[in-house]
Amino acid sequence: MKQLIFRTATGFLLPLLLLFSVFILLRGHYLPGGGFVGGLIAAIAFVLHAFAFTLKETRKLIKINYRLLIPIGLALAFFSAILPMFKGLPILTGLWVYEPLPVVDMVGSSLLFDTGVYLVVVGVTLTIIFTISESA
């Protein structure tokens, strides 16, 4: 699968898929989507790059240890779950910022939770796919 057309298309698709995954993440607390689906789309973008090029080149492209995304995402999701306790509210109560942001509109603890899920899904999916690819 090292054809020129596939490599060229992947060069265009990778940033588009990553941008689309962020879009799905950001719209997830109002409409269908969110961290899980957005994380899968981001992981698919990197898997597509690994198919077009090599696993070594894809790891260089990612620049960070993708396995670290798992504990970071879990910590972020856990923090967003216990954040309401500091205000005397039950766990997993939605907290919202009063002023809407220009691109994302109203931001709340659900977006923080979804971002944690996004990071966990990207980390787990890349770990599984890349481990299987290394052993094959």
Q: Quote the CA–CA distance of 45 and 58 in Å, as a whole number.
A: 10
pLDDT tens digit string along 7-58? 999 999 999 999 999 999 988 867 777 899 999 999 999 999 999 999 999 9
Domain ranges of the chain: 4-135
pLDDT of the residue at 2? 60
Q: Quote the CA–CA distance of 36 and 25 in Å, as a whole number.
A: 8
pLDDT tens digit string along 81-104? 999 999 999 998 988 888 887 877
Contact between 28 and 114 (Cβ < 8 Å)? yes
| Tokens coding 116 | 């944690």
pLDDT of the residue at 99? 86
pLDDT greater than 70 at residue 132: yes
Say if residue 87 is exposed, middle or buried (CB neighbours under 10 Å; 0-12, 13-18, 19+): exposed
Q: Quote the CA–CA distance of 100 and 40 in Å, as a whole number.
A: 27
pLDDT greater than 60 at residue 1: no
pLDDT tens digit string along 64-84? 999 999 999 999 999 999 999
Q: Quote the CA–CA distance of 119 and 129 in Å, as a whole number.
A: 15
Query: pTM for the full model?
Result: 0.90
Predicted confidence band at 116 (pLDDT cuts at 50, 70, 90)? very high
